Chains A and B, each alone.
Chain A
Amino acid sequence: MNSSTILQAKNVSKTFSLGNQSFKVLQSVNLSLHAGSSLSIRGESGCGKTTLLNILARIESADTGELSWGDQTVRCDRIARRDEVARRAKFLGVVYQAYYLVPELDVLENVTLSARISGGVDGSVKDRAHSLLQQMGVADKARQIPGKLSGGERQRVAIARALLNCPEVLLADEPTGNLDERTGEEVMDLLLRACSEEGAALILVTHNHAFARATAQQTVLSDGILNEV
């Protein structure tokens, strides 16, 4: 593995079974991402893009393959164990299409949630959260609950949350999928800018060609095979 490679997957395969039928969603997928770089994955709905992200995040297991997080080889045939989840929380940030903000927490509490899970929330964490919310343009919503925010605002909060632990890699699964075109562009712009400022590598799953073109590497997942465009 190249010394600047931050995330690498080799020959990752995954098959789902449904009754007697089996579906090969990933077939020997290879992927390599440099630190601070960006990569987009496009593909039809249900082609396995989210499954691939889940395997990279180790919340889902692959059947075969190898996975490296930074200079460390990790197992991809099983999800992260109790002693590995802390490492994941520091290494990866994830942004979902449906935001997944906790409705009972206010914006600031949502953003600091990952820090709370990994160790605790102190003054510096709160300062960083405020700074990220500022960067996302939603600093004035810090004490609002997610239910009172628009879709675009919720996704900005979700991005701030994903970036709080200064992850080396940010996985974004169709982050603009629920937003209108203009809001989607704004959010995408913020996401790319934030990744660039924070120095985080980005893997972006999207259907949007324009957004995909904004990344350094562009790939398409089709029939379980990931091809570079």
Chain B
Amino acid sequence: MKIPWPLFLAWKQLFPSQKKVSFFSLLAVVGVALGVNVMIVVVAFMKGFQHKFREDIIDAQGHARAIPLSRTKEWGILQQELLKKSEVLAVSPYLQGPLLVQKKDYHSVPLSIGLDLSAGDSVLPLDEFLQNGQMRMETHNAIDVTPVPDSSSLQDDVVFVSQYVANRLGVRPGAILRMGESKGMRDDTLGVRVATLGSEVPSAEWELEYLGGEEWSLSSFGLGFQTKIKPVGDLLDGGPGTPTFALLSPFSPPEIGAKSTYQTFRASTVEVFSPAMIDRAQANEMVPPKEVRVGGIFEVPWQGFHAEAMIGSFRLLEDVRSSTGLCDGMFLKFSPEISGNEESLHAFCEELELSRSVDWAFVPWFVENAWFFDLLKFEEYLMILIMVPIGLVAAFAIAIALMTTVLRKIREIGLLVAMGGARGMVGSIFCLQGFLIGLLGAVLGCGLALLFICFRDEIMSFIVVRIAGDEGKTGVAQFYDFYSLSVPYPWESPESASTFLTFGVFAVLVSTLAGLIPAWRASRMNPADALRNE
């Protein structure tokens, strides 16, 4: 391949024969590479945070919310109509508003959401939230084997509370511990695990014993309770008010007489008042509070979700608010074809809105949270605004270095013209040097950014552990979600590819432009004057 001679000379001036690399070239290329690396990493991580927030928001409120513009009892019809559409995967009607929750002398006023889960899957991943919020008991002679509660335990007299509310009121759901000598016993020694622990199970000590064949015994000395049970399917159910066990699969029967002891702790109960109930109480009316059990503690990853929150059944909210038949809105979940991009989601919401005779607004998640994403975008642009001048400083450094090279090589410039080189071509040598520095710097910078993305957890851990120790690492993980951040590689996402490409091209352009002034100066030189230069 024939290489244009200005490019050949530009390359040779950066990487001379018999010398691996010149110090100037090395500094310039590394400078550009670090700049490109920082710009890509910052923007890629900002986008990672945006992506995570987007997922968290969708988890916390679905792809869209249907909000009635006037109080209506016809929402059931809309719910059925929506569920008939193939694009709609789930609809969760809800009631929401503040309720006063009391436990002895402690009070909380959480935003309370009543969910109707009768129509199938919930839009909100309640089970995931409950998993996030579960707190294990730490004891020295027992282990906490409480199963994570799930949305099926959301009865009309059960509520789930956020960690904040649980801490404020000092409440917790029911718990079960495997006790004493049974602590060291692995689940599969007895061949069972605790499957569910209803919030109605009282505090008591329990003994589960294998009697042989299919027969088991569940007893509680304190409660004066004893029953023989046989598995139904793989469940060992002693009846209401008892913990339910499940046979491990594959089940291998233990020795006859093998037993395990458990201690259950009853779920806390709280008293709930609605504003209407408080009004009536203030009017000296006798208003008994609604007493409910705490069925679980949840944590919603989206920080914009109310920290002081409570989730109950739709009927519970109806009951305490005395607002039968009304609905404050519906959480909606759509198919990936609709929810995959914002335009199609917006268009579908508009279509739903126009097709309604009754006034309902269909608000996509990104419209409702536009303020937040505008803020993130602003932050991203601000970061770029701060970083671009850093890139320009690097460009100035390259321009100055190339200008010095021009001054150092004045007689060489004259020689090249005397040997038949057009002055423009001679000047382009310096422009091409800028281009090559930019190109190599961009490639190296992209490589560094890939390494940073690949080993981000290790790098972060290394830095954080050295600054703040292992506890600091937990804090960073809790507050920055750095470790769970999804930062795609360029080949995995067009957005990531465009970030790499944009900053790569930016570096090449700026470096090439930095070479323009020295190039112009070189091309303006009179060859005879250049050759006379001392």
A contact residues vs B (CB 8 Å cutoff): 50-51, 54, 57, 59-60, 79, 82, 85-86, 88-89, 94, 96, 98, 100, 102-106, 109, 113-114, 116-118, 120, 143-145
**What A residues does B416 contact at CB under 8 A?**
117
Q: How far is the CB of B452 from chain A (nearest CB, A)?
A: 34
B85 CB within 8 Å of chain A: no
Knowing that A79-B528, A85-B422 touch, tell me 4 more A-B residue pairs with CB under 8 angstroms: A60-B528, A89-B420, A113-B419, A145-B18
Q: Which of B2, B421, B526, B531 contacts A120 (CB 8 A)?
A: B2
**What A residues does B103 contact at CB under 8 A?**
none
Q: How far is the CB of B480 from chain A (nearest CB, A)?
A: 48
B contact residues vs A (CB 8 Å cutoff): 2, 5, 8-9, 12-13, 16-19, 411-412, 414-424, 526-528, 531-532
**What B residues does A144 contact at CB under 8 A?**
18
Is B17 a contact of A105 with CB atoms below 8 Å? yes
Q: Which of B16, B17, B420, B532 has the most CB of A within 10 A?
A: B420
Q: Which of A88, A114, A116, A143 contacts B8 (CB 8 A)?
A: A116
Is A109 a contact of B17 with CB atoms below 8 Å? yes
Is A59 a contact of B414 with CB atoms below 8 Å? yes
A-B contact pairs, 22 of them (CB 8 A): A50-B532, A51-B528, A59-B527, A59-B531, A60-B528, A79-B526, A85-B417, A85-B420, A85-B421, A94-B418, A94-B419, A98-B411, A100-B531, A102-B12, A104-B9, A105-B12, A114-B420, A116-B5, A116-B8, A117-B419, A117-B421, A143-B17
Q: Which of A100, A120, A145 contacts B415 (CB 8 A)?
A: A100
Count of A-B contacts judged by CB separation below 8 Å? 75
| Separation of A145 and B527 alpha carbons in the complex (Å) | 24
**What A residues does B531 contact at CB under 8 A?**
54, 59, 96, 100
Is B5 a contact of A57 with CB atoms below 8 Å? no
| Separation of A57 and B417 alpha carbons in the complex (Å) | 11
**What A residues does B419 contact at CB under 8 A?**
89, 94, 113-114, 117
| Separation of A23 and B422 alpha carbons in the complex (Å) | 30
Given contacts A116-B8, A145-B16, contact A54 B528 (CB under 8 A): yes
Q: How far is the CB of A106 from chain B (nearest CB, A)?
A: 4
Q: How far is the CB of A168 from chain B (nearest CB, A)?
A: 14
Q: Which of A82, A100, A143 contacts B412 (CB 8 A)?
A: A100
Given contacts A59-B531, A100-B412, contact A145 B420 (CB under 8 A): no
| Separation of A102 and B16 alpha carbons in the complex (Å) | 10
Q: Which of B13, B17, B417 contacts A145 (CB 8 A)?
A: B17
